[in-house]
Amino acid sequence: MRNIVALLIRYHNFLLFFGLQIVALSVIYNSGKFHRSEILEHSSDIAGYVYSKRTDLTRYLRLGEINDALSLENADLRGQLADKYRLRNAVDSIIDSLLQQRYEFRSASIVNATVNREQNFIVLDRGTYGGIAPDMGVISNGCLVGVTRSVSKHFSVVMPVIHSDFKASVRIGRNGSFGSLVWRGGDAAIAKVIEIPKSIQVNQGDTIYTTGYSTYFPPMILVGRVEGVDDTDNDYHVIDVRLAADFRKISYVDIISDLLRFEQDSLLEQEPSTHGAANSH
């Protein structure tokens, strides 16, 4: 009680002013319709502003929840739109009505990552309990990210494009010529495309996509755009590609599961001349 009295004494001027303001507003409010309408109008403006700010704050606090929901929805949509495998049930006949799902997509969040090393990594919050296994392709917003390597019950480690051991089969969208995507260190935004002969014209701005030759990625996953071409090599272009995935900003990814992977790999392993082809990105 003593504290309350001390507080009233300390702020008595402000409390008196506040009380007089309320009395004055009450008198003005009851003095006529014009004053009443003006007060109501301004009160509505203030209330609307407060509610708007409260809504903005609520939306901001729910960003994580919204991003999770959108990530799950994107994974589901990619699974529905992914290439279907056409079932052949007669000689030289493709039955378009019989389509088998080839790829499944599972969403995950990045919990740790590096970009400044020679062998960078990405850690995801999804593992075997979430349907993830080694050697699955990883994309973000439709752009190439990497391949899963180590997997535990709840987490998985991804070898990203920006890893010295990464290699993937890619093609130039404009003319279909294919080569290999590698990263030779340095800038995390720039990779190289090699093994494309100099006889193939390559232009700045050409779009680079995956070929779909492996079981890691479907065809036409966006890799990036040609930023420059080095022709000092005698036979092949060395192409600088600005990667479409920004590895410093990625938060969510989709993991790709090829449902026909084991069938394709087991068939290739039966042929000595193609041994190891199944292990190419």
My answer on whether 192 and 136 are in the same domain is: yes
My answer on whether 243 and 183 are in the same domain is: yes
End position of a domain, from candidates 61, 84, 100 = 61
| pLDDT above 70 (res 72) | no
CB 175 within 8 A of CB 201: yes
My answer on whether 32 and 125 are in the same domain is: no
My answer on whether 51 and 158 are in the same domain is: no
Who has greater pLDDT, 135 or 55? Answer: 135
**Model-wide pTM > 0.85:** no
| pLDDT above 50 (res 51) | no
| Structural domain includes residue 251 | yes
pLDDT of residue 89: 42
My answer on whether 57 and 118 are in the same domain is: no
Question: What 8-state DSSP symbol labels residue 279?
Answer: G
Supply the CATH number for residue 158's domain. 2.40.10.350
My answer on whether 197 and 122 are in the same domain is: yes
Domain of 269, in residue numbers: 109-281
CB 144 within 8 A of CB 135: no
CA-closest candidate to residue 141, choices 246, 62, 260: 246
| Structural domain includes residue 47 | yes
My answer on whether 244 and 140 are in the same domain is: yes
Q: What is d(CA 73, CA 76) in angstroms, rounded to the nearest whole number?
A: 5
pLDDT of residue 255: 94
Q: Report pLDDT digits (tens) over 140-156.
A: 999 999 999 999 999 99
How high does pLDDT run on average in the chain? 79
Cα 6 versus chain centre, distance: 58
pLDDT of residue 38: 57
My answer on whether 45 and 143 are in the same domain is: no
My answer on whether 122 and 56 are in the same domain is: no
| pLDDT above 80 (res 3) | no
| pLDDT above 80 (res 111) | yes
Q: Report pLDDT digits (tens) over 6-50.
A: 666 776 677 677 777 777 667 665 666 555 555 554 554 554 455
| pLDDT above 80 (res 97) | no
My answer on whether 145 and 238 are in the same domain is: yes
| Structural domain includes residue 99 | no
My answer on whether 55 and 115 are in the same domain is: no
CB 161 within 8 A of CB 144: yes
| Structural domain includes residue 85 | no
pLDDT of residue 19: 75
My answer on whether 200 and 115 are in the same domain is: yes
If one counts the domains in the chain, the total is 2
